Amino acid sequence: MEDVRRAVLRWALANAAEHGGKASPKAVMGKILAELPGWKSRIAELSIIVDQVVDEVNRMTPEEQQFQIRKVGLPEKRVEERRGLPDLPDIHEYKTIVTRFAPNPNGPLHMGHVRAALLSHEYSRRYKGKFILRFEDTNPENAMLEMYELIKRDLRWLGISWDEEYYQSDRVEIYYAHAEELIREGKAYVCECDVENFRKLRDSGLPCPCRNLTASENLSRWRKMLAGGYDEGRAVVRIKTDLSHPNPAVRDWPALRIVTKSHPRVGGKYLVWPLYNFSTGIDDHLMGVTHVIRGKEHEINEERQRAMYAHFGWKYPTAVQYGRLSMPGVELSKTQTMQMVRSGNLQGFDDVRLATIAALRRRGFLPAAIRQLIFDIGLTPVDSSLSWETLYAYNRKFLDPVANRYFFVANPVKLLVHNAPKFKEVRLRLHPSKPEMGERVLPIVIENDSPVFYVAKDDMATLRVGDIFRLKDLMNVKLERLAPVFEASFHSLEVMDVPKFQWVSAGAVVLEVIKPDASVETGLAEPSVAALNVGDIVQLERYGFVRIDSTSPKLIAVYTHK
């Protein structure tokens, strides 16, 4: 029985290490049954053991989990062939695979957007095809000039390059030509109906009066639209579809409408602007897009566009749709984000409270981690819920091998150590398992023949007089006095199984850390931290990973995660 419990503990620790410190009983059960198939006949008994051990592991601090991993070891990983992303369908039907990412520049990118971008880019490169960046900016009411460059910056940071770049606001004449072609052929019409009246007729499967006008009459209305003869909202071009279609939203859908607001790129050059399905459908055909990779919420849009393609006699691209990706606790819409930024409630689009790509970059998430996470989620049609813990686990896997280590003491308190060896400094590795990464030096100040240290107030609050603890990588000391300052006496040098606290001494620098809720924690960091550059991502031992955000006039870091 003890052997079984030990095996469960190993798998629980392994699962917790891969998922932000929280193991899943179901996942652990699967691993145990694969390792010990004889327990399938005792599943109820095994379930009790698994639940107990997983609960114990999930209650451990990260440091306790690491200690247990070193103690019991991790199970050997089976060598499995990585499947990676599946092949796209219909690849043999096309000479060149062409994909696209088509953002609306009405707000910053977030994880949901970059899923489409990363998958589309990856597949274009897999098949040595072409990748297009197309800004779908045909709504002057929400297009934002600064978003074009921010989106391109985010994409480049993620490792995405593109072969062609388009702005739909530069292609309005192309949409006009195609709209006029459909109107001439009686496959589209200009509707002047009140929106509510049209909706009632549509929902009943009945045509509105405008539908039965001649092509000549509709062309006259079309030219009137272009000439500014209608007020905004008084006329719209509709694509004729099957009025008996089971989904009313597909029936005679709107293709172009009047918007009088000036566009941030082209000003007041145009009054008539295409809606999403019209401009997107036309561009996908004209640009030779072979595969459209997007969320399954676009299923209705696909039906609308297919009806238009039938009018033109075009072949519709291969549609590849995946499930929705959501992040619990990240509920802000683009509109809400914009309002909060403009009102000053958020500091910008990289405010640490947001889940935008700009905010993740500022916090210290690596593009490689985001790419790997998206590729592992892949094209699954099932809706996925992405937790922060999962994102942390992916990022930690990439950060841990490369991040330099430093000491940081939050809310520091002074500690005197009596009768201690007279160390003037201590040299520690920048990375505990990689000596080739070099060392850093921590000087130690002496006052009245006793070394002076600063340690975290919260750490000292866990101790009582007489307790022994270790100043990490230096010495063991015994707490002797709590007030007016903390005083301890030297105990020994060898590593003991006692609490270990990070510390600083001479030359410590003030460091402010911006937490994910935008609160600020101030403390002292070892002197080497002052030499870091903006953008450096390091690990503050027993505290977490941080990214240097500013070095002047103050040294500021942004908290990444544990």
Show pLDDT as tens, one digit a residue, over the chain (562 residues): 677 888 889 888 888 877 767 888 888 888 888 878 778 778 888 888 999 999 898 888 776 777 787 677 665 443 333 357 999 999 999 999 999 999 999 999 998 899 999 999 999 999 999 999 999 999 999 999 999 999 999 999 999 999 999 999 999 999 999 999 999 999 999 999 999 999 999 999 999 999 999 999 999 999 999 999 999 999 999 999 999 999 999 999 999 999 999 999 999 999 999 999 999 999 999 999 999 999 999 999 999 999 999 999 999 999 999 998 888 766 556 777 778 888 888 889 999 999 999 999 999 999 999 999 999 999 998 888 889 999 999 999 999 999 999 999 999 999 999 999 989 999 999 999 999 999 999 999 999 999 999 999 999 999 999 999 999 999 999 999 998 899 999 999 999 999 999 999 999 999 999 999 999 999 999 999 999 999 999 999 999 999 999 999 999 999 999 9
Q: Look up the CATH number of domain 405-561.
A: 2.40.240.100
pLDDT at 77: 41
How far apart are alpha carbons 421 and 443 in whole angstroms?
14
Rounded Cα gap, residues 377 and 386, in angstroms: 10
Q: For the chain, give every domain's residue range.
A: 2-72, 85-320, 334-399, 405-561
Contact (Cβ atoms closer than 8 angstroms) between residue 456 and residue 501: yes
* Measured distance CA(512)–CA(558) in Å, rounded: 8
Tokens representing 179 are: 């709209």
Q: Please tell me the predicted confidence (pLDDT) of residue 26.
A: 87
The CATH superfamily holding the domain 85-320 is: HUPs (3.40.50.620)
Across the strands, what pairs with 254? Answer: 238
Give domain 334-399's CATH superfamily.
Answer: Glutamyl-trna Synthetase; Domain 2 (1.10.1160.10)
Q: What is the pTM of this model?
A: 0.82
Neighbours of 294 (CB within 10 A): 20
The pair phi, psi for residue 13, each rounded to 5°, is -65, -40
Same fold, 334-399 and 405-561: no
Q: Which residues contact 283 (CB under 8 A, 6 or more apart)?
A: 102, 134, 166, 168, 171, 289
Is 320 within 8 Å of 89 (Cβ atoms)? yes
Q: What are the backbone angles phi and psi of residue 556, rounded to the nearest 5°?
A: -130, 135
CA distances from 380 to 286, 374, 385 (A): 29, 11, 12
Strands 509-514 and 556-561: parallel
